[in-house]
Amino acid sequence: MKEINLENLITEGINPDTVNIDKVSTFDMITMINEEDKKAAFAVEKVKDRIAMAVDAISERIKEGGRLIYVGAGTSGRLGILDASECPPTYGVDFDMVQGVIAGGYEAIFKAVEGAEDNEELGEKDLIDRGLTYKDVVCGIAASGRTPYVIGAMKYAKSIGALTIAVNMNEESIMNEYADISISVIVGPEVIMGSTRMKAGTAQKMVLNMLSTGTMIKLGKVYGNLMVDVQPSNEKLIERAKRIVKLATNEEDYLIERVLNETGYDVKLSILIIKTGLEKFKAKELLKKHDGYIARALDDFEDKVKIL
């Protein structure tokens, strides 16, 4: 195994602002953590251009039939799985479209699997098992920027022409060498030395939120700031679906419920039917013509009405 020099990693540094955290009052302890957490958002702000570039690239690949696959170990892997698992219910996409892969597999979601993150070949194998193709996007996530499992996955992805993205917290990251787009978020030393589930994890979650949310917006999954492809799979989401249609159309509740029932609670289609008065079949065709973008479909409809 290669020798690891942690001294050169900023995420493994000693934080001078928290060296006495074990001696202060509980309130001051929490204040220290809170002050450090604030730095995560400012660090993400500095790489907005890289995140925007990644969103554009991811959305283009997905439009061509590709997938977004997050790869990580430990906290980084769990955050990738979390982000991926929330896309289907929120935006109505297939479970395959956004995936999370973690070193050590399912068991590692709940507890550490010894040695899994140190295996480059395992990172490659896990992507082969997922049927990775050149159309896909592999987003490697690692606070250190040197996790062998993630590097192995990124090397393989790059070798077959898949788009590679690196999300890490060390600018001189080995991962960046294998990334088409590198996103290095420099949050600095952690409150507790090396505990990268803290600031680094917070920053990673923020970046992944932006990558997936930005991509879904580019794919027409949002109308205004409403999640119009939400899947009403429980009582809360059924009520949210009704509220979204209400906010989008400002129509009476009885009409909203009737149309939602007619469309099988297809929120996007229901909004278009109510706003245009089109029959379900014609509204579906109009949405399909505009790749699911309600705003574009409405503009098209209004232009035709003006001509008439």
Q: Report the catalytic residues.
A: 86, 117
Are 249 and 256 contacting, i.e. CB atoms less than 8 angstroms apart?
A: yes
- The CB density around residue 169, as the number of other CB atoms within 10 Å, is 29
Q: Locate tokens 């990644």: which residue? A: 54
| Pick from 35, 57, 3, 33: nearest CA to 197 | 33
Are 199 and 34 contacting, i.e. CB atoms less than 8 angstroms apart?
A: no
Q: Locate tokens 């192995």: which residue? A: 152
How far is the C-alpha of 84 from the C-alpha of 92, rounded, in Å? 12
Q: Is the dihedral of CA 263, 269, 274, 279 positive or negative?
A: negative
| Pick from 192, 308, 290: nearest CA to 272 | 290
Are 41 and 206 contacting, i.e. CB atoms less than 8 angstroms apart?
A: yes
